[in-house]
Structure 1
Amino acid sequence: MASALDRRRPMAEFKLTPSEVEDRITEAADVLGRLPSTTIQGYVNTWPPMVREYWESYGVAEVKLRRPPPSAAAITRMDQSLEWLRWLDPIDAQIVWHRANNDRWKAICGKVGLSRATVHRHWMYALCVIAWRLNGNKVPGKRARGHLVERVNALRQKNENETFLARTDSPAE
């Protein structure tokens, strides 16, 4: 007897998983943080502060180090990843973005006004929606959120099993 997954549009391979989507969005948040600031320069003085006394010079050489600017390829991947957030409900996009910035769950709960379990469900659903759409599927509109998460996890598990079987069936070299 065919399962509900087999009766749907067959998928040759489940290309992106929710964890890979999470990694890409986390990378996008990191790249965005490494970009130079876009503030108006205004009237600035590029001279270092004048040292008048010896004791004022203590600690002057300390420089705040910045990470190097991102590469062009990283910026392109960031732009692609930020477009994915437009597919989500605003609350889900906000949760995903806060999590990509390594905000704590408790802080996210306070910002969006939801419980910890609900925020985690929204986060999982949002990652599954992005993975589902990137793999060329249409998000079911009249289904519960948990249904999509279950389908994505089932397809991911099925492909992992097939990959494992293909590796074990191949002759050893």
Structure 2
Amino acid sequence: MTETRTEWTADDVAARFAEAAETAHKLPRVRPGGYFNPWMTLAFQVPERYPDPERLYRPMPPSPQAVQRMLEVSRWVLWLEVEQRHLVWMRSNRYRWEQIGRRFACGARTAQRRYDAAIHLVTLHLNKGR
């Protein structure tokens, strides 16, 4: 499943986490099955509705390769402790360091160091199999 690489770097791992977070946001929302409202589909067929600037447009769905890479990253998360997982995903979702520090009751610089340590741990695990 892992790409054939010579060696992973911390920047590669961080970029892969960021890509996984973007892919997760592009996936369709999970809704309960069995509920369907045909009036909404009829309302969206009116041509005047399409260029509406107030309407939120959904991004294009991710490619199967992007979903596969996201699932691979979700397996990497198992190597981290729970707090490290939250930290890495918050940063991958582009939270500011101050917000992350507030969440973990530490300074922004301490949050950066903990993030670097978590990314380094994942990098070591990935390079260990080589």
Q: TM-score scaled to structure 1, two decimals?
A: 0.61
Higher RCO (CA < 8 A, seq sep 6+): 2
1:25 and 2:17 aligned: yes
Q: For residue 79 of structure 1, what is the aligned residue in structure 2?
A: 71
Q: Which runs of 5+ in 2 are unaligned?
A: none
Distance 1:38 1:98, change over 3 A: same
Q: For residue 134 of structure 1, what is the aligned residue in structure 2?
A: 126
Partner Cα separation in structure 2 for residue 93 and residue 50 of structure 1 = 43
How far is 1:92 from its partner?
A: 1.3
1:107 and 2:99 aligned: yes
Q: How many residues align?
A: 119
Q: For residue 59 of structure 2, what is the aligned residue in structure 1?
A: 67
Distance 1:84 1:50, change over 3 A: closer
Matches within 5 A, 1:1-173: 15-41=7-33, 43-48=35-40, 60-61=49-50, 62=52, 63-136=55-128
What root-mean-square deviation, in Å, do the aligned CA atoms of Structure 1 and Structure 2 show? Answer: 2.5
Larger radius of gyration: 1
1:136 partner letter: K
Distance 1:67 1:49, change over 3 A: closer
Q: For residue 145 of structure 1, what is the aligned residue in structure 2?
A: none
Partner Cα separation in structure 2 for residue 131 and residue 49 of structure 1 = 47
Q: For residue 159 of structure 1, what is the aligned residue in structure 2?
A: none
Q: Which runs of 5+ in 1 are unaligned?
A: 1-12, 52-58, 138-173
How far is 1:100 from its partner?
A: 0.2
Q: What SS does the corresponding residue of 2:101 show, helix, strand or coil?
A: helix
Identity among equivalent positions (%) equals 29
How far is 1:64 from its partner?
A: 2.2
How far is 1:50 from its partner?
A: 9.1
Distance 1:69 1:49, change over 3 A: closer
Q: What SS does the corresponding residue of 1:37 show, helix, strand or coil?
A: coil
How far is 1:68 from its partner?
A: 0.9
